[in-house]
Amino acid sequence: MEKPLIDRVVEQNSLTLDELDAGQYFVRIQTLGASGLSSQWTNVQSFTVESRFDWRYLLLTLPILLLL
């Protein structure tokens, strides 16, 4: 069974979810070839690297966005 995307992003980059900000997450998704998600994640680009992204928000909204 394939691991969820967020688990693969974290594993491949040796990051914890706390360390992964929105900008990094967006870049890592693209490098994993999930370009289909990129259009749904354009709002993620508005976060700067300096700002911290609450990963719990991401985990709550990801299933909703995938259903759209």
Can you tell me the mean pLDDT for 42-54?
52
DSSP 3-state of 25: helix
Write out the residue range of the structural domain in which residue 20 sits: 5-67
Q: Taking residues 37-57, what's their average pLDDT? A: 54
Quick: pLDDT tens for 4-18: 776 776 676 665 555
Mean pLDDT of 16-39: 60
Whether the CB-CB separation of 41 and 29 falls below 8 Å is answered with yes
**pTM surpassing 0.85?**
no
Q: Is the pLDDT of residue 38 over 60?
A: no
**Counted domains in the chain:** 1
Radius of gyration, alpha carbons of the chain? 11
- Both tokens of 60, joined, read 């709550």
Closest of 41, 33, 38 to residue 9, by C-alpha: 33
pLDDT at 9: 65
